[in-house]
C-alpha cells in the first residue's frame, strides 16, 4: 500500500515538474538565441555590413527610433539604409545587454535591455526593445526600438555685458518691439529713424 502511494506521489510530482522543466529549457534556448542575435549584430557592424544587419530582421521587420528623434523604418531595405547611415557616420561597434525577456506563445518573444554604440570613439548609450519571431525555423527580429539616453546639458555660463553692449542690446529689443506696433502706440519722443546709432539711445528721452 505504501509503495502504491509513493508511486502515485512520484508520478504526480513528475507530471507537474516536466512542463516547468520544459518551459525553463525553452526560455534558456530563446535567451541564447536573443544573445546570439545581439552578438551577430555587433560583429556585422564592426565589419560595416549594413545588409547583413538587415538580414537579422524578418521579411516585414520594423525599426523604430524613439529618441532623440522619432523615426519609423519598415522593411529590410529601409533598415539597411538606416544602418548604412550609422556606419557612414563613424559607428564601429555596438553592445546590447539583455535585461528582460518574456515568452509570448511558441513563436514570439519580448526582449529589452541597454545598448552602447561607439561613434568616432565616443560612446552613445540608451535602451532597446525587441520582438523576436521564428521565421523558417530561425529566430529573427520582427520589431526593434531604440531610445537614446538623454544627456544633461552643461550648465549655462553667466554672461557679463559691458555698458556699451547693454545699451546696444536694449536698443535692439526696443526696436524689434516698437517696429511691430502701429505708430499710435509708439512712445512719445522716440523717432525710430533717428535712432540708427544705438550709442545715442539715451540722447532722445523716451516718455513711458
Q: What is the mean pLDDT of residues 197-205?
A: 46
Q: 195 pLDDT exceeds 50?
A: no
pLDDT, residue 78, reads 96
pLDDT, residue 137, reads 87
Percentage of the chain exceeding pLDDT 90? 48
pLDDT, residue 171, reads 60
Q: What is the mean pLDDT of residues 116-132?
A: 93
The CA angle 71-77-78, to the nearest 5 degrees, is 10
Listed range (26-30, 84-88, 140-144) with the worst mean pLDDT? 26-30
Tell me which of 52 and 4 has the higher pLDDT: 52
Q: What is the DSSP string of 53-121?
A: HHTTEEEEEEEEEEESS-EEEESHHHHHHHHHHHHHTTEEEEEEEEEEEEE-SSSEEEEEEEEEEEETT
pLDDT, residue 170, reads 65
Q: Where are the domains of the chain?
A: 15-148, 163-203
pLDDT, residue 160, reads 53
150 pLDDT tier (thresholds 50, 70, 90) = low
pLDDT, residue 67, reads 81
Q: What is the mean pLDDT of residues 98-117?
A: 90
Euclidean distance between CA atoms 96 and 92, whole angstroms: 14
Euclidean distance between CA atoms 24 and 185, whole angstroms: 78
Q: 108 pLDDT exceeds 50?
A: yes
Q: 162 pLDDT exceeds 80?
A: no
Q: 64 pLDDT exceeds 50?
A: yes
Cis link prior to 68 (omega < 30° from 0)?
yes
Query: Which range among 46-55, 100-109, 162-171 has the greatest average pLDDT?
Result: 46-55
Percentage of the chain exceeding pLDDT 70? 60
Domain 15-148 part of CATH 3.10.450.50: yes
Structure confidence by residue, pLDDT tens digits, 173-188: 555 544 544 444 333 3
pLDDT, residue 166, reads 64
Euclidean distance between CA atoms 94 and 40, whole angstroms: 10
Tell me which of 5 and 66 has the higher pLDDT: 66
Amino acid at each position: 500500500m505504501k509503495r502504491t502511494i509513493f508511486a502515485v506521489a512520484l508520478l504526480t510530482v513528475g507530471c507537474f515538474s516536466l512542463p516547468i522543466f520544459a518551459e525553463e529549457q525553452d526560455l534558456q534556448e530563446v535567451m541564447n538565441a536573443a544573445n546570439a542575435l545581439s552578438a551577430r549584430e555587433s560583429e556585422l557592424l564592426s565589419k560595416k555590413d549594413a545588409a547583413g544587419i538587415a538580414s537579422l530582421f524578418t521579411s516585414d521587420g520594423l525599426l523604430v527610433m524613439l529618441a532623440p528623434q522619432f523615426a519609423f523604418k519598415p522593411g529590410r531595405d529601409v533598415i539597411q539604409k538606416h544602418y548604412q547611415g550609422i556606419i557612414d557616420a563613424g559607428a564601429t561597434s555596438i553592445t546590447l545587454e539583455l535585461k528582460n525577456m518574456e515568452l509570448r506563445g511558441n513563436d514570439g518573444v519580448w526582449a529589452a535591455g541597454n545598448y552602447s554604440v561607439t561613434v568616432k570613439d565616443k560612446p552613445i548609450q540608451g535602451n532597446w526593445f525587441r520582438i523576436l519571431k521564428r521565421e523558417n525555423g530561425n529566430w529573427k527580429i520582427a520589431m526593434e526600438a531604440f531610445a537614446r539616453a538623454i544627456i544633461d546639458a552643461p550648465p549655462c555660463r553667466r554672461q557679463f555685458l559691458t555698458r556699451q553692449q547693454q545699451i546696444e542690446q536694449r536698443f535692439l529689443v526696443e526696436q524689434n518691439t516698437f517696429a511691430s506696433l502701429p505708430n499710435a502706440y509708439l512712445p512719445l519722443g522716440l523717432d525710430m529713424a533717428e535712432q540708427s546709432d544705438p550709442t545715442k539711445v539715451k540722447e532722445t528721452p523716451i516718455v513711458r
